Amino acid sequence: MSRLFGSVRARATLGATLVVAVALVAAGTAVLLSLRSNLLGEAGTAAERSAREVAAQLAAGTRYDDLSLDVDDRPVQVTDENGVLVAASEDLERISGTGVTGVRPRPDADGRPAGDEDDRDEGREPGEIGGRTTVTDGSATIDGETEDYRFAAVTVETDDRGTLTVHAGSPLSAEHGAVRTALTVMLIGFPCLAAVVAGVTWLVTRRALRPVEGIRREMAAITASEDLARRVPVPDTHDEVARLALTTNETLAALQTSVERQRRFVADASHELRSPIASLRTQLEVGAAHPELLDVDGAVEDTVRLQRLAADLLLLARLDAGERPGDARVDLAALAREAAAGRAGVRVRTAGGVTVAGSRGQLGRVLANLLDNAERHARSAVEVTVAREGDTAVLAVADDGEGVPAADRDRIFARFVRLDAARSRDDGGAGLGLAIARDVAVRHEGTLTVREAPAGGALFELRLPALQVY
């Protein structure tokens, strides 16, 4: 059961069904209350009409015995100002809700005024019917049948009989029947409607989530096979699921590129390490067999190469792991002068202090790598320029060498790339300096590009966000 309701389809179906059920119950309750109120109002109006018809007869001076009280078999009572029953419907057997339980008028209530019987209608003014109507609910038994009624009470002022009150009832059987019918329809129809909503929601949700299940199966297959070249199916719906599939494929492509890059990195690193290690081992083995032939300077040089290569690989690993560069304030002009110190043919031009935020060690490594590369290719001179352009700090390293062909200006920043394939590793390095420089620039929210220098060589330009100087 927990597994069933743990699915999105089941939760969506349950939620939609509950919402519809609550709405139906609320709407049904409102309909029933409105229907009952309207029917009760109609019953009260009918009872008031009957009561006023009898009151009109009393106002006209009609004797109690001559009153028309058995209209539509509705219960009617007439009481005097003392609450004594003076007239009632003929077949009335029991009544409640009017405040008068009697069903038979008193024997002497003939409705005649005091004085001569022949003069009872001469010179008499008609009575006045009260404008206020009191409505109550009760029941009555007429000719053996008991029903619920809504009673209306109307008063009438007469000169000869005082204040009389007429109680007339209207049956509530129609109201009860309509409410019961509506309730029965709701009790049958609402569950059926909720079941239809649940079924439709289940089917629609299943169809909507079918591509998601396809994505899940393909991702499970990719995980099991470790084949990052596979892609999940993209539905033709142009909705959120389609965008999810596209994003998943983009993630898989990025992951595949990252894994392939790591594999190439490991292979290239192994290849680069193999040469100095083999050379160092050969020298040590020769030295062990023939101490007089041991090339100590060569062994030291190979050891230094190994140390530099290991440091480069460690820095690249830290950069790939997302190491934050820090937020220390670094003066690029001072850093350039410090890096150029002791290098022959390197000239530094600065336009005041230019400060950036980041790692002084990593930025110094970028400048050192750029200077090493420039010195390696320059004919006679290397120039370092530090300036500020708006909110950007610009550090440029230019040489007067042969420059970098336009087709190779992006490729030289790849790891283990050396444009001159015939160049020895001792002269050209492992091809990691420019890759490290660009990675550090990116981590500092900057850029590193190369273009042609004014002297015809290569111009490497590092752009970083500059800090405001206060």
What backbone torsions phi and psi does residue 6 show, to the nearest 5 degrees? -85, -10
Structure confidence at residue 109 (pLDDT): 57
Nearest CA to 97 out of 132, 54, 140 is that of 140
Domain ranges of the chain: 1-112+123-225, 240-320, 328-465
123/20 Cα distance (integer angstroms): 71
Q: What is the mean pLDDT of residues 52-73?
A: 83
CB atoms within 10 A of CB 454: 9
Q: Are 359 and 470 in contact (CB under 8 A)?
A: no
Residue 442 has pLDDT above 80, yes or no: yes
Element (H, E) at 151: strand 145-158
- For 328-465, CATH gives 3.30.565.10
Q: Judging by beta carbons within 10 Å of its beta carbon (0-12, 13-18, 19+), is residue 231 exposed, middle or buried?
A: middle
- 423, pLDDT greater than 50: no
- Counting residues of the chain whose pLDDT is more than 90, the rounded percentage is 19
Sign of CA dihedral 110, 114, 117, 119: negative
**pLDDT score recorded for residue 305:** 77
pLDDT tens digits, residue range 233-280? 888 877 888 888 889 899 988 888 878 877 777 777 777 777 778 877
Do strands 85-88 and 382-389 pair parallel, antiparallel, or not at all (unpaired)? unpaired
Which residue in the block uniquely carries the two structure tokens 């008991």? 146
Q: Long-range pairs for 103-110 at CB < 8 Å and ≥24 separation?
A: 105/64, 105/78, 109/64, 109/84, 109/85, 110/63, 110/64, 110/65
* Eight-state DSSP code of residue 292: G
Partners of 464 in the β-ladder: 393
Give 386-404 pLDDT, tens digit per residue: 999 989 999 999 998 888 8
Nearest to 153 by CA among 140, 138, 135: 135
Q: What is the mean pLDDT of the chain?
A: 83
How far does Cα 348 stand from its chain's mean position? 56
Which tens digit of pLDDT belongs to each residue from 361-388? 899 989 989 998 899 888 888 999 999 9
Q: Are 265 and 283 in contact (CB under 8 A)?
A: no
**What's the pLDDT score for residue 121?**
45
Q: What is the pLDDT of residues 19-42, one digit of tens each?
A: 999 999 999 999 999 988 898 889
pLDDT digits (tens, 9 = 90+) for 196-224: 998 998 888 888 888 888 888 888 888 88
Q: Per-residue pLDDT averaged across 66-94, rounded?
A: 84
Q: What is the DSSP letter of 212?
A: H
- Alpha carbons 315 and 303: distance in angstroms, whole number: 18
Task: Tell me how crowded residue 115 is: count the other CB atoms within 10 A of its CB.
Answer: 10
Mean pLDDT of 146-173: 89
Q: What is the DSSP string of 28-42?
A: HHHHHHHHHHHHHHH
- Report which of residues 360 and 268 the model is more confident about: 360
Strands 162-171 and 346-350: unpaired
Residue 424: pLDDT over 50: no
Q: Higher confidence at residue 389 or residue 107?
A: 389
In contact, 437 and 426? CB cutoff 8 Å: no
The arithmetic mean of pLDDT across residues 130-140, rounded, is: 88
Residue 60 contacts residue 146 (beta carbons within 8 Å): no
Residue 450 structure tokens: 């190369």
- In the block, tokens 């003076």 appear at 86
Report the topology of domain 240-320: Helix Hairpins (1.10.287)
Pairing assessment for the beta strands 128-142 and 76-79 based on DSSP bridges: unpaired
470, with CB counted inside 10 A (0-12, 13-18, 19+), is: exposed
Question: Do the bridges between strand 355-358 and strand 346-350 make them parallel or antiparallel, or are there none, so unpaired?
Answer: unpaired
- What is the mean pLDDT of the segment spanning 412-417? 81
**% of the chain residues with pLDDT over 70:** 90
pLDDT tens profile 295-349: 777 778 778 778 877 887 788 777 777 777 778 899 999 999 999 988 888 899 9
Whether residue 124 is predicted with pLDDT greater than 60 in this model: the reply is no
* Residue 236 pLDDT: 82
CB atoms within 10 A of CB 312: 22
What pLDDT score does 126 carry? 67
Fold: same for 240-320 and 328-465: no
403-420 average pLDDT score: 82
